[in-house]
Chain A
Amino acid sequence: MFEKPLGMRDTLPRLYETKAAARDKISTEIKKWGYQFIETPALEYYETVGEASAILDQQLFKLLDQQGHTLVLRPDMTAPIARAAASKILKEQVPLRLAYSANVYRAQQREGGRPAEFEQIGIECIGNGSISADAEMITLMADVLLAAGLKDFKISIGHIGFLQELFLSILGNEERASVLRKFLYEKNYVGYREHVKSLPLSSIDKQRLIAFISLRGGEDTISRALELLENSVGQETLTELKELAQQLKAYGVEEYVSFDLTLVSHMSYYTGTLFEVYAGEVGSPIGNGGRYDNLLAKFGWNAPATGFAIRMDRLVEAVGSVDENNETQCILFSSERRNDAISTARALRAQGKSVALQDINSVTNVDAYTASFAEVQFFVGNGDSKK
């Protein structure tokens, strides 16, 4: 056995076929919505794409090029696409609808069980700051998951703007708000509540902050959030969420969504609505996305943008079934009947069948070799037999 670096995995034929089938279904669906697929390089400059990415620095694979520049293996696709989109050619067709399916790299510090290289399939909608774009992201994500054969999933939608405005209005400045936001980001509700108790605030304001962490559930969450507001600050974001909920109903995907205003997937990356998607048996989100209106500006183009990415490894795990059907046929031949074998194989391939053409003299164990094929034909000696 030769070891692989931590977190690196092989994809063997059966899993490959399962993934490929899911990828096909998903990309077909994405194309139906008018998105165009692009590819970007696996290596990017650390100073530009590496810095702009939402992924933590310690998770980046870094290396040096011949001139000593620091490079990174792309940790996500959003930053590379933002870089490419900001180029002249693509800027002409705004709003831009781009899609990708690519491997991304995130170093693992600890144990196995989590891949350091995995495929993401996703879209970015650039230059469209409207709620319609947010609704399109969430709807298309639901459609894509359904197309891939996933039935049981739940999309949680949050809005970083609401949390930010609520915190700022109660706490007064960004420094204090970011301390509280960090507790949410770290999922530490005990620490959050203790910190709120220790703050020099009125008991009403403390109660508002404590009540905030239970703002999740159905559409009523939005009206419960409204009750936490004292004046118009923060109302606009809730109006946006209500509008989003309406549009999702128009698309007919409301059964898959719920609202969670405590959702903080990143300390500073997202600027508006954000969402994560969960499936029952998989312990981590299978995909996520949101609005990131500040990213493009880092590449010299001040444009709003939103998108989502689905993790293929987790999706395949969630769908559960590995494609067991091997449709491939096998023709085993001996040299005197080579011509028969070749023409039969050619005819079958012309019908769209997959055929492995194998010289029987090179097979040491015929039973083991032929076991996995759907059908086996022998072109051996003078007779013609079928197994």
Chain B
Amino acid sequence: MAKAQGLTWTISDADHMTQAEIYGEVLTQIGKTNKKVVALTTDLAKSTKIGKFQPDMPDRFFNLGIAEANMMGIASGMAETGLIPVVSTFAVFASLRAAEFVRTDICYQQRNVKIIATHSGTSFGQAGTTHHCTEDLSVMRTFAGMTVIAPADARETGKAVEAVIERDGPCYIRIGRGFEPPLYKDMDFEFEIGKANQLKDGTDVAVIACGPCVVHAVDAAQQAEAQGVSVRVLNMHTIKPIDEEAILAAVMDTRRVITVEDHSVIGGLGSAVADVIAASGKGCAFRKLGYQDEYSIVGYPDDLLHKYKIDADGILETIGEVLKADFEEDEDWEDE
């Protein structure tokens, strides 16, 4: 049984727990020592796993019924009294239905609220578009003062949850439904908000991914390597603040960049990376993989990642494309 351990929590059978289960377990352990933490949900205690918090700390657990906007307002008010509210619902409701409450009650007022949104992207594929969420990174990124994180797997989620509790101010973590394959085999990796994890070095192409796409990026990079293509893989778990240094290094070293996210290509990771590249003034071949301004169809999550080319096959195909792509040469490039 592989252990997962943070500073204040330990999980003994991490291999057999989903991303959401680890989240619920970590939050519960943190809540036992940090009495300021309160957990709120909207009739999704079981689905989001925040309900694990309830048995040990019933006084600090609030199930507010199916009313997401109200939950965000209540969380803001609780933060005013010095508590650290952690709220969980599906990503589509947290980021869209309750968007103005997140913006006006939490971010605008600099309230110390943590939103852990589950079932993001197409991880709840069978539920259809109403329950998919391919817009949340874009929405949350635009709120001034919001930290936005998309962990790659369960173990990284554990570290991210711990990190946001320690961080002052509004934070948004998006995770999947919970059946995503693990990326990290143990806890021997760094997690720092705003600092990308380079999982593999490479000089021909850089793949910058977040969330469930990271494991596919590693897979694609290994397959490319076998074909003689050197691919760098960055786990860009923090979308905001984005790791500009890692992006610029990827541009300089590879000049071919692909972003991959379980999200619309408008406004999410790809856009955040594009902003940095555009401001650098450096030319490079660039592709954004994700949902191309369309509503995702019903299906099993793995099938959907494949259809929308954000799995290993899609990434590998795009690596082939960018290798052939032209880009403007930059005279000063060699001097930098």
Whether A associates with B in a native complex is: no
Residues of B within 8 A of A (CB): none
Residues of A within 8 A of B (CB): none
